[in-house]
Structure 1
């Protein structure tokens, strides 16, 4: 009874992140991808026809985090194929050099129509989720209390996938777009005249439901922003030691203020920015220059897979 009473407090498994994607948004995205890749005829479809085939999705990057399966499945659903997964989003694939991840079935020409769009999405999303998982592991090892976050430095037209991959990888997605949380950057401040004027003007239209964050280049700017009543101060492009001093000073004066560190932070130097006075660390490298996971789709390979005994079959 106690478990039932408090079920809403239990953490959700990561693969339920897929439930946050609206079905109509998912369908619209994959139709745009398919239309971009095949805007008119598919001449190669003539040579393969519509005979039923089976293709094996192989992951060739060990110790990767799977992400993007809802998009991969939606692509093949749109072209009349089915996908059976051996892993769920958020699971680590490996340690084998090549791992059977899913099986796709359907008419040959339809399967090949969806192949590239589906693989591109899965490779990119899994690469981001893998990097996010690695960053999150660093915060755990460093016993840091705050949140690693992504940024708005995403690929145009592909933001939903990249933000979803962050969610699967265990880091904060940060704001989704300009219509969400307000972030006032240097150009906003310069155009407005001051931090205080920019904050007051923005508050008059953003309402109670939006937080306001200001990008600050010094402790003095952070103090002005906090005094104007912002929710979050971003200390931008601070060196680690400068960051620690500024964050401590601002927290001492404004205890409820959230402090974000950003600018010049990489997986290699992330631990240097850990501080009890910093709540958020955002990294553009989560999406920019992030390695992809190597996936391939091989048709009619079932007999070879069994003969080679190369793949690891997860227990049901």
Structure 2
């Protein structure tokens, strides 16, 4: 199961510090106003909605950055199914520190768990289709959150598309227009890119499918095609070359993803996994009052 090994610790620390500066500033004035010095509490973070847990190591990192003396116990497993009331984390120590880190920890947990939950639903929706296509994300992520959001997709059982513009050649409609056509765009990309990098082409018609095949594209993305045209496109691509990876994209929803999978595509990219996902409802509650240390 995906865990901290898939997150860059330096990136995570840098982001958390920036987010804490944004939220806390010079201090949590509400807590400072009412809490006596040394006040300690035990808190539980629990699910108020069923879903998939994601971001537990991230929340732990938030509390560690706020106050390294906080004792954080992971109760749930990253990627586990959550029922209403399930506890994800227990936190014990300075009440001021717990409340100072509460909102950032919850914001991240809720966002990442929402992405993992949505991803799991899409993965489950294509279960039983053979061959089973990969459910992948896109670059439609929150600025500054891409690494975490793509991590949450993996926790939910999905896979990642390219991370950014630098790590894959992906020729979209505007590239093709600027180059003067599919063949010319692929030829230029082939001449420029290293031999180790595959070339993906977005196509919108069966005519462009044929052009992409002839141009030697390694991956052909079928953009916003209905399932009938998609089935025909897959058939033509398979006849031409079994090595070409076929991706479906554009407006994919839970109600359409299985029919798309049944056309025989290898990959289904879903922008909605990250660009418009609903956060999972997760809350932090303080337990019994602890001692006030002198």
TM norm structure 2: 0.92
- Taking the aligned partners of 2:144 and 2:273, their CA distance within structure 1 comes to 17
In the superposition, relative to structure 1, how do residues 301 and 295 fare at CA in structure 2: closer, same or farther (>3 Å)?
A: farther
Cα RMSD after superposing both structures: 1.8
Other-structure match for 1:306: none
CA distance in 2, matches of 1:32, 1:285: 27
8 Å contact kept, 2:56–2:89 = no
User: Could you report, residue by residue, the CA deviation over 1:139-175 in whole angstroms, capped at 9, with x for unpaired residues?
Assistant: 1134442111111111111111110010000111111
Deviation at residue 302 of structure 1 after TM alignment: 8.8
Q: How does 1:202-241 map to 2 (within 5 A)?
A: 202-241=189-228
SS in 2 for 1:277: coil
Matches within 5 A, 1:58-137: 58-62=46-50, 64-80=51-67, 81-94=70-83, 97-137=84-124
Pairwise CA distance, 1:207: 1.0
Distance 1:280 1:265 in 2: 12
- How many positions carry a matched residue from both structures? 286
Aligned to 1:44, what secondary structure does the other structure show? helix
Q: Which has the higher contact order (CA 8 A, sep 6+)?
A: 2
Aligned to 2:139: 152
Question: Counterpart in 2 of 1:245?
Answer: 232
Residues 1:185 and 2:172 are matched in the alignment? yes
- Number of the residue aligned with 1:53: 41
CA shift for structure 1 position 301: 4.6
Measured in 2, the distance between the counterparts of 1:254 and 1:301 equals: 66
1:32-76 CA-to-partner distances (Å, cap 9, x unmatched) read 1111112334322322244222111111112x1100112111100
TM-score, normalised with respect to structure 1: 0.85
Q: Distance in 1 between matches of 2:8 and 2:148?
A: 12
Q: For 2:254 and 2:240, how far apart are their aligned partners in 1?
A: 31
Note the residue ranges of structure 2 that are not aligned, 5 or more in a row: none
Give the deviation of 1:242 after TM superposition: 1.2
What residue in structure 1 maps to residue 22 of structure 2?
36
